[in-house]
Amino acid sequence: MDKAAVTTVQDLVQPTIRATNVNIYYDDTHAIKDVNLDIPPKAVTALIGPSGCGKSTFLRSINRMNDTIPSCRMTGQITLYGDDIYDKKIDVVQLRARVGMVFQKPNPFPKSIYDNVAYGPRIHGLANSDADLDNIVFNSLQKSGLWDEVKDRLDTPGTALSGGQRQRLCIARTIAINPEVILMDEPCSALDPIATAIIEELITELKERFTIVIVTHSMQQAARVSQKTAFFHLGKILEFGDTSEIFTNPKVEKTKDYITGRYG
């Protein structure tokens, strides 16, 4: 638990994630252009912008998921608590254990609910005993607000849950490895309003313990859950600041057009 102590000291001096002059290309497509961004700790940062502007691409670069796409290249620097995550010395596997990810489409494994949550702890050796593992699974499901709904059927397949439950299962699966940062790419876009409200509530709770970066297409959602907002446009960040500031008093004309729905 000394990690937490270190974190608090660092919080004062530096952001959790700092992107400097980041450029990302898919073959010839220049998807991210010279992006600089500081993501503060223990807060929700929303990435908004029109479709195809590079939000997902940027998000995926924070835990190096883009490495799995052969055509993807990146230049510039992204640091996590000061460590360059693209440094040769960095182990991607460990990085992804520190920076978890929740995807747009709920994607539970075709395994039991228990095994879904236990998957990460097992591969990272986080549990010393079966009781330990049970505990991690319990805590994660509890935190994701799913425990009461599934406690009697932990051995049924995760794929048999409803859409909203699946997404919460995916969140539980991510927090089970106790990451420092959670990346969420449109986590509610496949859900109905009630399931969305539950997840938004969950995000608000989770930010007490995790740094959260969320991509969303819903302005209301960004306004409700986030403290910081970055507006992406054609691969660039046009505006970044406090959410309240951006939504009430945007400085850039394009941001204003976008959040008021006038963007074509």
Ligand X SMILES: Nc1ncnc2c1ncn2[C@@H]1O[C@H](COP(=O)(O)OP(=O)(O)OP(=O)(O)O)[C@@H](O)[C@H]1O
Among 17, 65, 74, 184, the residue binding other proteins under the rule CB under 8 A is 65
Rounded Cα distance, 47 and 12, in Å: 23
Q: Collapse the DSSP code of 264 into the 3-class scheme (helix H, G, I; strand E, B; otherwise coil) and give the result.
A: coil
What secondary structure, in 3-state letters, does 44-55 show?
A: EEEEECCCCCCH
Please report whether residue 94 would count as binding other proteins according to CB under 8 A.
Answer: yes
Burial of residue 227 (number of CB atoms within 10 Å: 0-12, 13-18, 19+): middle
Could you tell me how many residues of this chain bind ligand X (CB under 6 A)? 12
Rounded Cα distance, 53 and 47, in Å: 10
- In the complex, the smallest distance separating the C-beta of residue 182 from ligand X, rounded to whole angstroms, is 17
Please report whether residue 100 would count as binding other proteins according to CB under 8 A.
Answer: yes
Please report whether residue 137 would count as binding ligand X according to CB under 6 A.
Answer: no
Q: What is the CA radius of gyration of the chain?
A: 18
Strands 236-242 and 29-39: unpaired
Backbone angles phi, psi at 258, to 5 degrees: -70, -50
- In the complex, the smallest distance separating the C-beta of residue 102 from other proteins, rounded to whole angstroms, is 8
Contacts with ligand X in 8-27 (CB under 6 A)?
26
- In the complex, the smallest distance separating the C-beta of residue 144 from other proteins, rounded to whole angstroms, is 15
Tell me the per-residue interface mask from 60 to 99 with ligand X, x by CB under 6 A, - otherwise: ---------x-x----------------------------
- Is 56 or 66 the residue whose CB approaches Mg ion more closely? 56
Please report whether residue 101 would count as binding other proteins according to CB under 8 A.
Answer: yes
**What order of strands is seen across the sheet that includes strand 83-84?**
29-39, 17-26, 72-80, 83-84
Report the partner that residue 94 touches, choosing among Mg ion, ligand X, other proteins, none (CB closer than 5 to 8 A by kind): other proteins
Q: Which residues in this chain contact other proteins in the complex, by CB under 8 A? A: 63, 65, 68, 70, 92-97, 100-101, 103, 105, 107-111, 119-120, 123-124, 159, 170, 173-174, 177
